[in-house]
Every structure is written in structure tokens, then in C-alpha cells.
Amino acid sequence: MRISEKTIEINFSSKLNYYYNNNIIWFGLTQKQEAKLGFDICCKLKGRLYIFQLKAISKILKNGTYQFKTPHHQIIAMQKLSHKSARSVFYVLPDFGNTSELMKLSKLDNYWLLDTKQISRISEPTCKNGKIRKNKTHYINMEIPFATIYSKPVKVDLTALSGFSNFYSSSGLLTSSFNNDFDNFWDMIKDLDKSTKIAVEVPEQI
């Protein structure tokens, strides 16, 4: 059975939290008030923010390539955030798409991170005739260890989630940069999809 983005989110969050000794606080942006509560707590902990936009496979091409979809406005919003700090805003692309594949997973290597700071200036997606695609949706083809974003091809590197430890403590958006002001934080993330997840690193001494 094909799995949903929600299933991917739950398992991704669970695995990453376990991998980092339950040292990460998660909250989803389904409602403004819930997001506000999460941010207030995070500010007090003086942690760092890592923003993840999780995607489910939308199609498997004839050559076996996994294809994902993402709206143009979302890429632009995530690019804008990534300019504040490298290695802090990611698309998460799984290399599995159904329940039978999911049940066999035991490691983090089946989730791949696309650092949005890598994405160069990207124009609105077009059809074969050159006109702007009505749904303004980009396709992301995953060809590990790379991914290509269309219409005009933009090739970017992918990093296995297990490699997240390489920049776990040296990156991320400092919560202090928002001056403990939730309105500043909300202005920053309001253009993201509601399924976006934010992880906050909790200082070891807490």
C-alpha cells in the first residue's frame, strides 16, 4: 500500500529523535497557536531550528527514478529561509514509497536531505510549449546522491539523513535571532506548507 506524507513525517521524526538520544523537540505547524507554544518553549531553551519539508514519492519513472512534486511558492519560501543560515532548511526525500518497503527499514539512510541553500535562482515551472505550468508545480527527480529540479534543470547534492550529525551542532537558525518574538518567527515560516516540521536542538546541559 502506498504511504502518505504523514506516515513519512511520523517515522522520520521518530527515527531522528531516537538517533539523537531524544534530544530534539518537534512541533508541527498545523495551527498558529500550536506553533506559538512550541516556539515559546524553544526560545527558552536557546536551541537551534532545523526546518524539514517532507515529501512522499508521487511517481516512479520508467527508469526507476523516484519523482516528487513541490509548489513553486514553497521552494521560494524555503530558499528565503535558507539564506539566513546554511544547512538549516531541507527537503526530505525518502527512497521508499509503500508499506512493505517501510517495514524493512531500520536505519536513517533511506531519508535523503536536500539543502535548499544549494538551489540557485529558479524560475516558475513551464510546460513543453514554454508556457507557465498552471499548477506551478516543480518536479524533483531523485537520482542518489543527486536530485534534479525541473522545469529548467537544477541539479543539487543529496545527503543521507545519517550524515545530519556532520552539521547537527554547527548550523541551524538560532532562536535568539527572532528576539523571542513569535510574530517575527511566524512571519518567517507562514509561507511554508502546513506539513513542514521544525526540529529544535536542546542544549546538552538542559
CB 200 within 8 A of CB 49: yes
**pLDDT at site 80:** 84
Chain segment 14-32, per-residue pLDDT in tens:
887 777 776 676 765 555 5
Q: Is the pLDDT of residue 33 over 50?
A: no
**Closest C-alpha among 116, 92, 96, 115 to residue 106:** 96
Quote the distance between the C-alpha of residue 80 and its chain's center.
14
pTM of the predicted model as reported, rounded to 2 decimal places: 0.81
**pLDDT at site 181:** 63
> How many helices (DSSP H) and strands (DSSP E) are in the chain?
5, 12
> Pick the residue with more confidence: 75 or 106?
75
Quote the distance between the C-alpha of residue 47 and its chain's center.
18
**pLDDT at site 154:** 93
The b/e string for 76-88 (b: 16+ C-beta within 10 A; e otherwise) is bbbbebbeebebb
CB 114 within 8 A of CB 144: no
Spatial distance between the Cα atoms of 151 and 144, rounded to a whole number of angstroms:
19
Q: Confidence band (pLDDT; 50, 70, 90) for 10?
A: confident
Angstrom distances, CA of residue 33 to CA of 24, 30, 194:
20, 9, 13
Chain segment 128-168, per-residue pLDDT in tens:
888 898 999 999 999 999 999 998 899 999 998 877 766 65
Task: Please give the share of the chain, as a percent, with pLDDT higher than 90.
Answer: 24
Angstrom distances, CA of residue 82 to CA of 15, 66, 79, 88, 131:
24, 25, 5, 6, 29
Mean pLDDT of the chain: 77
